[in-house]
Structure 1
């Protein structure tokens, strides 16, 4: 297995253990690939959920730009829900796992079809 495959396994385990759900591995793989080189950087791999600027970047760069959604308070609420599902107290919120949760929660799987 390559480094990306190892990371996908790590993200799947985080989704299982922290969110109590079995991830769709095909979708998780596509979401992880879509994160690009960010997954290989220790800093960029993690979402700083307590940083409002970081959450705004998730909304603008991922939900609006990547998934083509319309900006609004519902996207902010979706991000908050994904963070809640993952666990607010967990400092290491993997970007790919949060993006996966958002895709599932918002029914945007077709963006990765």
Structure 2
């Protein structure tokens, strides 16, 4: 089991290993750098990047910024126990909440 799958299963016990693997391949470069491997939920610019580059561009969501920001806030709240929020886990949970895990199937 990959460390990414293990981390995601803390939040979704039924996480699909193939989806997690595909996400890890897609974000391999980002995950290889310590600075970009985590989401800084206290940084408004970081949250804007998640909204614009992941939710809108990658997942193709067209909802209002407020609605997408609410998804990000829900995931941040769900992961609040983790001081360092792993990007792949954060992205997985965002995709799951928006019904877009199939993008990585």
User: Do both share a fold (TM > 0.5)?
Assistant: yes
Runs of 5+ unmatched residues, structure 1: 1-7
Give the gaps of 5 or more residues in structure 2: none
1:50 matched to 2:76: no
In structure 1, what is the equivalent of residue 17 of structure 2?
25
Q: Contact (CA 8 Å) 1:48, 1:91: kept in 2 or not?
A: no
TM-score with structure 1 setting the length? 0.81
- TM-score in terms of structure 2 length: 0.87
CA RMSD of aligned residues (A): 1.7
Whether 1:78 and 2:71 are equivalent positions in the alignment is yes
Residue 62 (1) aligns with residue 61 (2)? no
| Cross-structure match for 1:106 | 98
* Segments ≥4 residues shifted beyond 4 Å: none
Answer 1 or 2: which has greater helix percent. 1
Q: By how many angstroms is 1:71 displaced? A: 4.6
- Three-state SS of the structure 1 residue aligned to 2:9 is helix
How many residues matched? 104
Is the contact made by 1:15 and 1:22 (CA closer than 8 Å) also made in structure 2? no
